[in-house]
Structures are given as C-alpha cells and as structure tokens.
Chain A
Amino acid sequence: MINQPETRDLLAEARRVLLDSIAPDLGGERKYQALMIANAMAMAMRELEQREQGQPEETDHTVRAYLAEHSIDGTAAEAEADLARAVFERRLDGTDPALRSVLRTLTEARLRINNPGFLER
C-alpha cells in the first residue's frame, strides 16, 4: 500500500514545527516537556532509519556468529538474550577481547538510535 508522505517525513516535519514554532514560546516545565517530546520523536526517526537499513538484523547476526564460534546454541528469538544468559552462566571468558567487542557492537547499535551524540564524546 502506498501511503505518502512516509512516516519518517511526517515525524521530521512534526518535530520541526514543535521545535521551531511551539517550543520557543514555552518556558520552564512546559519547555522541558516539549524538548522531551522532540527527543522521543528523533529517537523514533532514527530507529525507523536503522530498521530500513537492516541494522538490527546485522547486529543480531554479529552476536549469533560470535556465539556459534563459542559453541553456544541460540534458543531465544534475539541473539542478545542468548548472549546475556551465557555471560550470566559464565560460559564465556569476560576478559576475551572478542566478547567485549560484541558487547560494544550491541551497545553502540542502541546508542545510534537513543543518543548518537554520546558516541562522539
């Protein structure tokens, strides 16, 4: 089904109106609320973009491959859940740079959605 303009465009425009036309007239608590809304909208936009680019699947694949290398069978729908369990059960060496690299990949993938600026500190 064609449904234009697309979701990201709708969100981007709504956010622009909020920040350019509405927020400047607000003060105190209401300004804070407006900025929180803008932040949530930006997150949703980035998440949509990441999904369109197949990023979640790519991250999942990286985790899956690492687990396979360490003979850990995946049972959960998300590789992250299998990884969390294996770490908790101490089936993986916490000092292994490859494990830390996978943990970093997962964390950075989330930050690219939630707060890309945090990655640039």
Chain B
Amino acid sequence: MSALADTFSRFIARQTGARSARVIDFDKLSGGAIQDNFGLTLELEGGSRPGRQEFVVRQDAPSAVAESLSRPQEFRVLQAAFRAGVTAPEPLWLCEDPEVSERVFYVMTRAAGSASPRKLVKADFSKEQRRNIVRRLGAELARLHTVKPPQESLAFLALPDPGNPALSRIALYRRYLKEIGEPHPVLEWALNWLEDHVPEAGPTVLCHCDFRTGNYMMDGDQLTAVLDWEFAAWSDPCEDLGWLCSRSWRFGADDREVGGVGDRQDLLEGYREVSGVELDPAKVSYWEVMALVRWAMIALQQARRHMSGEQRSLELALTGRMVAQMELDLLNQIQELEDGK
C-alpha cells in the first residue's frame, strides 16, 4: 500500500510542480468491483495546489468488465460532464505511462460526504429537503444531457443503432439473454412488451447510465458529487431518469419513487428548470421497465461470472438469485402501467 501511495504522490507532485508531497492519509475506499479507488491526502509544498489536498485515485482492478469504459475513457466522460456543469469530482490527471504504474489510473478531487444508500434513505429529512434533493438530481441530469454528439473527445462512445436507443437496448438484451442460455419467460415477455411500446426517440445525449441512489455523494442534504461514470453512453435522456426511479434502487422506501428519496414530479421539475425541457412521465415509466430488464441482465451476467469460474464469489452468486425480484417487479409494473395507475 505504501509503495502505491508513494507512486501516486510522486506523480501528483510532478503534475502540480510541488517541491514536495507528504502523505498524510492513504486508504482503499469501499465499492467498485471493476476498479480500485484510493483516498489520498497530501501536504503539498509549492506548485499549483499548495497545502493540504484530498484526492481520489481510481485504478483498474484486476478483473475488469468488458461492458464498462476503460479508465482513460471514463476520465474523458468525467471531463465532459464536469465541463457541462455537473457536480462531479474534478478530473485532474490521467496516467497511462507504464513507467509510473503498471495499471492505468487517474486522479480527481475528493468530495465530502457519503454515498451510502441506506444512510440517505433512512435520513430524517423534511418534505422540503426531500423535494430539494430530488430537484437537484433532476438539475444534474439536465446539465449532463446538454452534452450531445458528436464530441471529438468522446468518439469511443457508439451511437445507438438503430437510431432509437430503446430498440438498440432491446436488441442488446435479447442478445445477452440468448448468450446466457437460461430460460427466462418473464424477461422474454417484458422484452416483447418493450418492443411493442417503443416511444418516439428523444434527442440522443450523454447519459450516465448508472445514475442511482448509491452512486452520488451526499453531505447532509447537499449533493456533493455524482460518481461512477463507467457505464456512460449516448442514449435517450429518459434512460437516466427511468434508472433513477426504478423500483430496484429505492432501498426499501418503495413509496418514494426517486431513488427512495422523493417524488417523480419534483425530479421532472428540477430537470425542466435547468433544461427548459418538459419530459413525458410516460416515457420515464417506459424506461423504468427497461431499467428492470437491464438490472436483471446484469444480475444474470454476474451470476455467470461466478458459475463459469471466471470469478468465484458469493456476492455474485447471490446476485443471480435476485433476478426473480426484478421479474416480479416487471409483472407488477407493466400491469400497473396498463391499468393507468
């Protein structure tokens, strides 16, 4: 660990032009099976960032997932989001030099607070505080969605094919289900439903694609950073809102539709205030159904990673047994949508 801390602090000293960098604190942060995150506090002497500085260093973990972005790609997405005014850690420096470290890493600023979903969902907030948090979530997405293709720095992100992101997702999940080879009649049925109810495609924008409670930091009732950008993609704006509202991410607070925190109406209002765009709630509901299918696909793939021996893990194995939850939610949600609830 200390060798890593030295590697990172020497790198940061060089980037900032500091005369010296003293390690005050270095620890591995929790979360992230795909990458390792380290908290690094330095006392920098001179240079462009003198004094006590708190950083997060994000590095590939030995077991990377094919579907997610590489560290350099993620760094560029984070740069684009940060430039668009999203409250995200400031991306500072990317290091791809094997002379410095065998694994690619990048350094960003460290945000205050916690990303714990349980803590946030259980917090004793007033109605007003909940409304403000949810409006803020809408505002953050609205800022992110101002980033539109083409973007030279994001050329590695594929455009939805065919032109409608929903159809593109359905085709992808059909392929996954075929590859997994396990019978899942509820998922087949839900994919048929999604195919039969495809909404008109919205604008194609930069979507976070994992924007949910647990992936943003809160300090009290203030959002301090949107994290985990490795699934970012060009898609329909409603994909991000649907994922955030999905029943899977309410952490027991099922009646609070937006991430177990607050109401959907406030989310849409927060979004409209910043973007001037009035999103169709029915379209968000459609993408919520898509979100349940997507999470079921991810859970099936995680179980496969365990079963194939690629990565034996009790956590991955148990995730596979969660699929029936998404399936029951799909049966209920589609019925409710049809009943006009």
Contacts and interface: CB of A to CB of B under 8 A. Distances in A.
A70 interface: no
Contact of A83 (B185, B318, B328, B331): B185
Contacts of B183: 76, 78, 80-81, 83-85
Nearest to B325: A118
Interface residues of A, number: 32
Contacts of A99: 189
A84 B324 contact: no
A10 interface: no
A87 interface: yes
A76 B331 CA distance: 24
A36 B314 contact: yes
Interface string A97-121: 0011001101110110011001101
B328 A40 contact: no
Contacts of B45: none
Nearest to B252: A121
B315 A36 contact: yes
Nearest to B315: A36
A57 B185 CA distance: 18
A33 interface: yes
B193 interface: yes
B36 interface: no
B335 A87 contact: no
B317 A40 contact: yes
Interface residues of B, number: 23
Interface string B310-341: 00001101100110110110010001000000
Interface in A1-55: 29, 33, 36-37, 39-40, 43
Contacts of A39: 318
B311 to A, nearest CB: 15
Interface string A70-92: 00000010101101110110100
Given A36-B314, A37-B314, A114-B321, A87 B328 contact: no
A112 to B, nearest CB: 9
A87 B192 contact: yes
A83 to B, nearest CB: 4
A76 B327 CA distance: 22
Contacts of A29: 30
A106 B189 contact: no
Nearest to A97: B335
B188 interface: yes
B322 A107 contact: no
Contact of A87 (B188, B196, B327): B188
Contact of A36 (B189, B254, B318, B322): B318
Contacts of B14: none
Leading 3 A-B pairs by shortest Cβ distance: A84-B183, A110-B324, A81-B183
14 contacts: A37-B314, A40-B314, A40-B317, A43-B321, A85-B183, A87-B188, A87-B192, A88-B188, A100-B331, A103-B186, A114-B322, A115-B322, A115-B325, A118-B328
